[in-house]
Structure 1
Amino acid sequence: MILDFYKYSSTGNDFILLDNRDESCPVNDKKYWQRLCSRRTSVGADGVIFLESSEEFDFHMRYLNADGGEVSMCGNGTRALTHFYHFLTKVDKPTYTFSTMNGVYNSQIDGDTIWIEMTEAYDKQIVDNSQLYSKNIDSYYMNTGVPHCIYLVDDVEEVELVSEGRRIRNHSLFPNGVNTNFISKISEDSYKVRTYERGVEDETLSCGTGITACAHFLWDKGVETSSPINFQSRGGELVLKKEDNSVFFGGPTEMIYKGKLC
């Protein structure tokens, strides 16, 4: 079996993308994709994205984390997949509509920026923090396609992110695991963010659903009332904005190289 693949980076969140519209990819071979995502022995990536056909929409997205497990969607991955679809089909549209396990999304290509209209965040709640984070601050939880905890701290660079994030991710309060985000204010409407991602089991350079959760947290708590909000991740800058009743997040994405899987 030989498969063409494309390596993408969306502000440091890196992915292996494959065209599976002919259903030729062994999507359910968890160990195969897990090995492929290993950085020391194979291509290496935070996840694998499959472009699939859709009768109703422009395309369908399937997403596997680096551990080979399938999850409902990936924010930065949707930006990479929009670019990939446009690259393969050469179809120019003001808005692309695609389906995921989490529902239907719209995306737009605006020069070097790809914007995603996010679905509504849900299951918002303050979680008992006494067993979670070592600092005495609120733990805020919500689902923006995948589950997230958010913490507003003085300086994200002082957080022991991997140890703290891993402990929260594996806590019994979250039987399916949770992604953990720490944010700190840089200036007006600008924040640093760091994220520990389940499935990758490490810090990633950026996380689209994570910064979406962070923006909702800031708006919900009244910390920020304006839009847009700029988030500086270790992989680059992402922007969250509100338009009417919708929330969009945007940033750059790029194809790095093409290869073959043997």
Structure 2
Amino acid sequence: MIDFTKMHGNGNDFILINEFETKKVVEENKSEFAKKYCDRKFGIGADGVLFLQPSREYDFKMRIFNSDGTEANMCGNGIRCIAKFALDQEITQKSKLAIETNSGPLNVETRENKKFWAKVNMGKPQFKRNKIPAKGEGTFLEQKIDQYSVSAVNTGVPHAVIFRKNINNLDIEKEAPKIRYNEKFPEGANVNYVKVLNENKIKVRTYERGIESETLSCGTGSVASAAISKKLDKTKGNTINVITKGGKLNIIFKNQEAYMEGPAKTVFKGKTSKQFSIVE
């Protein structure tokens, strides 16, 4: 049996496995583990699995496997969850953390006043096509794909951003794959549909690569949507409030870097059944 903790950041939910001292799932089984246990009918149910592991240079390392078994480089909502878990379990007692990810180390500041909040330095949004990645040269701003005007940026993972006057009635499961799998994005892209509410507030719906569905919230997607909004002068100022189906995030821009601030919550803890376990 394997101990797990179910957590979420604005409804973007995860199964967290603590491997800080002992490896619980062997490397070759991690992908299959995520596919089996993320299943919402036959497993625990989640958008992905977070593995908290030791790091040689930083406080600890975060790895994330999506519900389809693919490993992602980063997850904005996930990194807030793993920071909360580390503090709750006294893996660290520091309020300022440096967490290793496959996209590089990220600095996280935490605070708790009735509820847990974390502010994550998401780094500098990458607009160049070779950094997204996207085919061609220069930036990828307001490019025509299908009937949409599409912009793209990398905020830890690649994101496409599309502005619409109405995103509530959008059939995202039908429309997003046209962009997500477009040949212009050799590694695919997450797809964000954005409605500008005012000069410092946007509403976002995100279709996530690797989950292949809409999620209630996406941290890197919220940063990407805010970054593109600012780049195209659709919003003003350095703080943008992002409204997702799962809740609110604050995206702050300072010295060309983006900071994401939001909550994380523990839902429950449990153990996998021995019969269902696929680990050695």
| TM-score range normalised by the length of the shorter chain | over 0.9
**C-alpha distance 133-180 of structure 1, shift in aligned 2 (>3 A):** farther
Match of 1:77 in 2: 78
**Shift of residue 121, structure 1, vs aligned partner:** 1.6
Distance 1:191 1:149 in 2: 16
Gaps of 5+ in 2: 129-138, 274-280
Distance 1:219 1:186 in 2: 13
Match of 2:122 in 1: 118
Match of 1:175 in 2: 186
**C-alpha distance 46-162 of structure 1, shift in aligned 2 (>3 A):** same
**Shift of residue 134, structure 1, vs aligned partner:** 2.8
TM-score by length of 1: 0.93
**Shift of residue 24, structure 1, vs aligned partner:** 2.6
Q: Percent identity?
A: 33
Per-residue CA deviations over 1:122-160 (Å, capped at 9, x if unaligned) read: 144326844x3434xx21011111000001111111322
Tell me the amino acid that sits aligned with residue 153 of structure 2. Answer: M
Aligned partner of residue 105 in structure 2, secondary structure: strand
Matched, 1:23 2:27: no
May I ask how many residue pairs the two structures share in their alignment?
Answer: 258
Match of 1:213 in 2: 224
Distance 1:223 1:102 in 2: 28
Tell me the amino acid that sits aligned with residue 86 of structure 1. Answer: L
Distance 1:17 1:163 in 2: 30
Matched, 1:144 2:155: yes
Distance 1:244 1:168 in 2: 31
Match of 1:108 in 2: 109
Matched, 1:230 2:244: no
Gaps of 5+ in 1: none
Match of 1:35 in 2: 36
Tell me the amino acid that sits aligned with residue 117 of structure 2. Answer: T
Q: Is the 8 A contact 1:133 1:164 kept in 2?
A: no
Residue among 201, 207, 210 paired with 1:199: 210
**Shift of residue 190, structure 1, vs aligned partner:** 1.2
Distance 1:208 1:82 in 2: 14
Match of 2:49 in 1: 48
Distance 2:57 2:125 in 1: 24
Matched, 1:134 2:135: no
TM-score by length of 2: 0.87
Q: Is the 8 A contact 2:200 2:236 kept in 1?
A: no
Q: Is the 8 A contact 2:73 2:102 kept in 1?
A: yes
Structure 1 runs of 4+ with >6 Å offset: none
